[in-house]
Amino acid sequence: MATVAKTEGIKAFSATHDWESADYEPTLPVSEMSNPLTRNIDRAPASSIVKMLQACDAQMFQEKSGAAYERLLSDQVAKSLMEVAKRVQLILKNPQDSLIVLSGCGTSGRLAFFITSGFNRELRRLNHSAVCSYIIAGGDRALFSSQEAPEDDPISGALSLKKVSEGKKRVLFIGISCGLSAPFVAGQLDFCLQHPDVYTPVLVGFNPAHQARNEPIPGCTFTFHSVVTKMRELAKMQKAFLINPVLGPEAISGSSRMKGGSATKILLEVVFSAAHAANFSRTPITYNGILQHMRSYGKVLDITYSQTEGIAAVMEAAGRSLQCGRRLCYLSWGFLGLLGLIDASECKPTFGADHKDIQGFVGGGCKELGNKEGDLNLMGAESGIAHIDFLHNVLPCLTDKDTVLLLYSHSDDVDEVAKLARRVREKTSNMHAVYHQTDGDTAAQQGEINKLCSSTLNFIWPQATPASMGLQHMWELSTKLVLNAVSTGAHILKGKVYQNYMIDLQVTNSKLYCRAARLLQRLSGHPKSLCEEALLKAIYQVDKLTEDIMTCNLTTHTHTARKVKKVVPLALVCLLTGYSIKEAQSHLEQKPIVREAVEACLREQTLFSGSL
Ligand code: F6P
């Protein structure tokens, strides 16, 4: 049974499937479409926001006969997962001179790191050599902070793959690009295709192959689309693999950190768990085993969203903090902490947030996480991610207006959790917790921590979980869903979303630039050329575009855009009102809630055109 059918309240939402019809936003790939379920998410109260997110997530597991697209539970997806798991198993069996590389940009790269670390840790526990490595566009600093520009660099993608696999005779390369769009990953896949004796390429993404990005990549003879086309040919001979189920549009259009990120985690964990079980416990890799494992992730959605009211309460608290310019901090222990860091880092490109709006802190920071480049405090003391950084930089100025969310599980050092919770409670009563435990296990300090917190999302997981799926994987996915909901909802409540569009996105790479231009077209109704002009004027803060600006390339535009705030709202106000950049800026200052500013302009425009 499809997960979506389980919860009564969800039925109403799931009735709308029109995004699958051929004439629904026909020029857009699914990953960029707007989801009909969330069209009014910007005006919904917190509990409805959570329900909409639940309905969107449930789309991942929908099984429809005769559906236009392959889905997570489709036959072909399960078969490809089996084949890739067999390749992983071969490397586990004979690790010498072999390597598995996971790579991606933004959240996809962060999840590459997350999954690689978890798998290698498990191998080391069994005294097996680590066989997995990760690459993230922009290097390790992109693990914990938003670095969008490196996504556009296919050469650096290929070089980083060459470097990490130097001297290896057999490499299974898994490139992740939710939108089948990142030039960085396209460069790596192309490199694999040029060296088929060593590299077997696997692509994970969430659009049908024909929707892969087909824009020219400066300096390259290939596009993402042409690489995918070659891979499809090779896939017939199992020399390349495509794992690209469609998940339905994201709840916030284009926000692939949400379903895209969750599905990446699910698919790769299924592959690695199956290979691991085959190698260490002689459990054969079977079609049914793969499918059953996938379905068990659907249950994680049910368990997590069974606490809608609790999630909504944390979302409201976080929303209040952001509305008054205060912050939300995730304090965590162990690997759940990495999910907090991942969630926080995406808020900058998605909502134009400041890096201090939502921050994650995990026990010993980088030391604990084991990233390749070690301690990253180069980014400045203020950006430290360890608890010690929280204690020095954040705790002294915390007030009730800030929200603190503890993320921990029964297997963490709960004494430590209680200690830190007491210190936080001295500064703010606005502390909440997400706590995972198994049925029957209780930590002595749990009661005290609960009392210190204004609310606790206590997830109790059944002991008898499907053998193939670690409890930790469930806790992780569940935590990811909660954090995505809280940070997305808090930004919605702050007015950073219009309908279901990110209206204050950063324009820091080519994909985001195109997304911004498209959004301007959609909201203003003006032609593409005018919208791009307005976008450039906002980026360069000028009322007239000079020859110099017009001849700059896209990289210069996106590089310049990094330094400007509210680029898209600014361009939109100019487009709708004819204001100069200065006037538009002062208009936005008077109406700091971006959604309200945009609505006011749209209203004026409608009145104006009505009176003509
Ligand atoms: O460029 C920003 C971004 O959209 C991130 O938000 C996202 O995680 C990253 O790009 C990677 O996108 P994709 O997985 O589609 O390549």
Token output for 28: 């857009």
Predicted pLDDT of residue 377: 62
The residue with greater pLDDT, 393 or 467, is 393
The residue with greater pLDDT, 526 or 146, is 526
Tell me the residue type at 30: V
Element (H, E) at 132: strand 132-136
Token output for 216: 């020219």
Rounded (10°) CA dihedral 299, 301, 307, 309:
-150
Residues 537-596: tens digit of each pLDDT: 999 999 999 999 999 999 999 999 999 999 999 999 999 999 999 999 998 999 888 888
Helix count and strand count (H, E) for the chain: 25, 12
Residues 119-173: tens digit of each pLDDT: 999 999 999 999 999 999 999 999 988 899 999 999 999 999 999 999 999 999 9
How many residues are present in the chain? Answer: 612
Beta strands in 340-489 (DSSP E): 358-362, 403-409, 431-438, 455-461
- Assess contact for 34 and 499: CB atoms under 8 A: yes
Per DSSP, the three-state class of 456 is strand
Please say if the pLDDT value at position 379 is more than 60.
no
The residue with greater pLDDT, 225 or 610, is 225
% of the chain at pLDDT higher than 70:
94
Ligand 1: centre distance to CA 267 (Å): 18
Look at strands 501-502 and 497-498 and give their pairing: antiparallel
Beta strands in 479-579 (DSSP E): 497-498, 501-502
Neighbouring C-alpha atoms within 13 Å toward the C-beta of 117: 21
- Name the H helices within 165-223: 183-194
Predicted pLDDT of residue 468: 42
CA-nearest of 593, 110, 131, 600 to 344 is 110
Residue of 105, 113, 244, 351 with the most ligand 1 atoms within 8 Å of its CB, for mutation: 105
Predicted pLDDT of residue 6: 44
Residue list, ligand 1 pocket, CB within 6 Å = 104-108, 148, 151, 176-179, 181-182, 256-257, 346, 349, 509, 511-512
> Which range is least confidently modeled, 108-122, 462-476, 512-526, 568-582?
462-476
Is residue 337 left, alpha or beta, with left meaning phi > 0 and alpha meaning psi from -120 to 50?
alpha
Separation of alpha carbons 58 and 30, rounded Å? 16
Separation of alpha carbons 557 and 513, rounded Å? 9
Residue nearest to atom 16 of ligand 1 (CA): 177
Residues 162-202: tens digit of each pLDDT: 999 999 999 999 999 999 999 999 999 999 999 999 999 99
Predicted pLDDT of residue 612: 43
Element (H, E) at 539: helix 528-540
Give the residue-averaged pLDDT of 53-59: 97
Separation of alpha carbons 566 and 564, rounded Å? 7
Binned at pLDDT 50, 70 and 90, residue 380 comes out as low
- Name the H helices within 6-106: 8-14, 46-58, 75-93
Ligand 1: centre distance to CA 108 (Å): 7
Predicted pLDDT of residue 464: 62
Nearest atom, ligand 1, residue 257 CA = 8
Q: Classify burial at 185, counting beta carbons within 10 Å of its beta carbon; exposed 0-12, middle 13-18, buried 19 or more.
A: buried
Residue of 30, 107, 268 with the most ligand 1 atoms within 8 Å of its CB, for mutation: 107
Rounded (10°) CA dihedral 13, 16, 19, 23:
-160
Locate tokens 């290979």: which residue? 275
Nearest atom, ligand 1, residue 255 CA = 6
Residues 478-508: tens digit of each pLDDT: 999 999 999 999 999 999 999 999 999 999 9
Is residue 499 left, alpha or beta, with left meaning phi > 0 and alpha meaning psi from -120 to 50?
left
Nearest atom, ligand 1, residue 185 CA = 16
